[in-house]
Amino acid sequence: MSTASVYLTVAGLGVDVIYKDIKNLHISVYPPVGRVRVAAPKRTDEDSIRLAIVQRLPWIKRQREQLRRAERQSTREMLSGETHYVWGHRYQLDVSRTSGHYSVEPKGRTLWVVTPEGTDAAGRYSTLDRWYRRELKAAVSALLAKWQPIIGVEAEKVVVRRMKTKWGTCVTHSGTIWLNPELAKKNPRCLEYIVVHELTHLLERGHGERFVALMDNFIPDWRVRRDELNKAPLAAESWT
C-alpha cells in the first residue's frame, strides 16, 4: 500500500495526515500527549480534511484529556528504589547519602541524590529537577552550536520551562525557544529533533509543506525520533 504524508495545523492542533489507498477517512489520537493523525483516502482535498477535524474537535479534546490523565507516570515520592530516567537510561534512585551540599550523580545503575540530613521529598525533588535543567541546558548549548549554522538562524533566547502538553515551542516574533526539562530524561536523539524542529520554525512558522521539506532536509529521520519521543511516558505532576 503506497502512502504520502503532510502536516497540518487545525484549530491550534498539529495533525499528521497520511494519504492511503482506503475508502474512508479515519481520525486517531495517540498517547502519550494526544498526537492527532488522520488517515485519508488519496485525492482527498485539504479543506475536506480540515472540516472533518473541526467537526470531531469535541471528541479529539476528550481523547486528549483522557490520555493526559491516564498516561502520566506514578507520582514520585523521591524514595530509594524508585525508577528514574536520565538521557533514556533507567536508574534506581538512592537518597541514603547525606551531605552539607546538594548533588546528583548517576553512577552505574544508581542515581544518587545527595542532600542535607532532614531534607524532605519536595527538597529532594527540587534538587533533582535543578540538575535535570542544568543537564538539558548544557546539551542544548552544544546542539545550538551545531545546528544554528546549518539551519542559518539564531535563537535569541532559550528558556527551560515545564509544559504539560509540549516538549518544546517557538515564539517566533521574539526568537525564543522553550524546552521542557523532561527532555533530559529522554534519548538525546529526541532532544536533537526538538531543537531542530523549533529552530526550523524561525524559518517557517507553520507546519506546512515547506516546514516538512526543511525538516526532511535537515534531519531525514525526524519522524522516527518524534514517534520515539511521543511513546515516552509523561512525568508525574511536579511538587508544589
Whole-angstrom distance, CA of residue 232 vs CA of residue 226: 10
Whole-angstrom distance, CA of residue 231 vs CA of residue 202: 27
φ, ψ at 153 (rounded to 5°) = -135, 165
The pLDDT confidence band at residue 72, using thresholds 50, 70 and 90, is: low
Q: How far is CA 78 from CA 91, 126, 150, in A?
A: 13, 10, 41
* Max CA pair span of the chain: 67
How confident is the model over 38-67, as pLDDT tens digits?
999 999 999 999 999 999 999 999 888 877
> In this structure, is residue 237 part of a structural domain?
no
Task: Say what the pLDDT of residue 232 is.
Answer: 64
Which of 6-10, 29-33, 66-70, 213-217 has the least mean pLDDT?
66-70
On whether both 98 and 54 belong to a single domain, the answer is: no
- The SS3 of residue 103 is strand
How confident is the model over 126-175, as pLDDT tens digits?
999 999 999 999 999 999 999 999 999 999 999 999 887 789 999 999 99
Pairing of the two strands 26-30 and 13-20? unpaired
Instruction: Read off the CATH number of the domain in which 136 is found.
Output: 3.30.2010.10
On whether both 158 and 48 belong to a single domain, the answer is: no
Q: Domain ends where: 44, 70, 96?
A: 70
> In this structure, is residue 99 part of a structural domain?
yes
* Alpha helices, DSSP H, located in 82-173: 121-151
On whether both 39 and 110 belong to a single domain, the answer is: no
> In this structure, is residue 12 part of a structural domain?
yes
Q: Does 196 score more than 90 pLDDT? A: yes
User: Quick one: how many helices (H) and strands (E) in the chain?
Assistant: 6, 11
On whether both 107 and 17 belong to a single domain, the answer is: no
Number of domains in the chain: 2
Which of 122-126, 171-175, 229-233, 236-240 has the least mean pLDDT?
236-240
On whether both 47 and 138 belong to a single domain, the answer is: no
- Residues 13 and 53: beta-carbon distance below 8 Å: yes
Element (H, E) at 7: strand 4-10
> In this structure, is residue 174 part of a structural domain?
yes
> In this structure, is residue 28 part of a structural domain?
yes
Q: Does 204 score more than 70 pLDDT? A: yes
Kindly report the average pLDDT of the chain as a whole number: 89
Residue whose C-alpha is closest to residue 36's, from 54, 15, 17: 15
Host domain of residue 10: 4-70
> In this structure, is residue 200 part of a structural domain?
yes
Whole-angstrom distance, CA of residue 183 vs CA of residue 146: 18
> In this structure, is residue 235 part of a structural domain?
no
φ, ψ at 223 (rounded to 5°) = -65, -40
Q: Does 96 score more than 90 pLDDT? A: yes
Nearest 5 degrees, angle CA 53-CA 27-CA 71?
A: 110
Q: Does 189 score more than 80 pLDDT? A: yes
Q: Does 89 score more than 90 pLDDT? A: yes
On whether both 100 and 193 belong to a single domain, the answer is: yes
Residue whose C-alpha is closest to residue 109's, from 132, 94, 91: 91
On whether both 39 and 130 belong to a single domain, the answer is: no
> In this structure, is residue 129 part of a structural domain?
yes
